[in-house]
A and B are shown apart, each in its own frame.
Chain A
């Protein structure tokens, strides 16, 4: 049973558009929610993260929106660029020690 559910599996966006990836969780003990970006042949790299006492966090073109009551969070990529084409994973931290990951979203930004 997947602890963190991520959608969509794949996403195609035109250059300059907004990419939106969604995640949902059930375990209210999760207390830290990062997003990772992975390029082919590389390990995932931390992109941006949020704690549940905050509803939104923005870093450059990347924004996390967090809805604690709905147990959902999402990644928004504004002004998407071809260089953003990668696989994105959401994750949730349990017990300060273990991350549970979503299944990943493959983003393709077309020029």
Chain B
């Protein structure tokens, strides 16, 4: 159980286009999802936290108009990189936390496999 998927796993796009990345919790309801960005040979940096049905909370320095996050259902959150530029090329990873588990005090987060974005 507790599987999180991401789609696509890899995407290559032209500069100026927008790219949507999906994060799904496959066997549990995720009231909270987190989006991370990983630069080459560096650690994960939290970009934003999204709660189902409400606006995402962005970390300092993350442009909310560039990285649009939608958490429309309990099993799906999307990250849209708008007007992508080469400097947006990175590895994007989501994680999800079960609402039911959180209520019971179990605060585990489960990570997706990541999406490699390359902007030409």
Determine if chain A interacts with chain B. Answer: no
Chain A interface (Cβ < 8 Å from any Cβ of B)? none
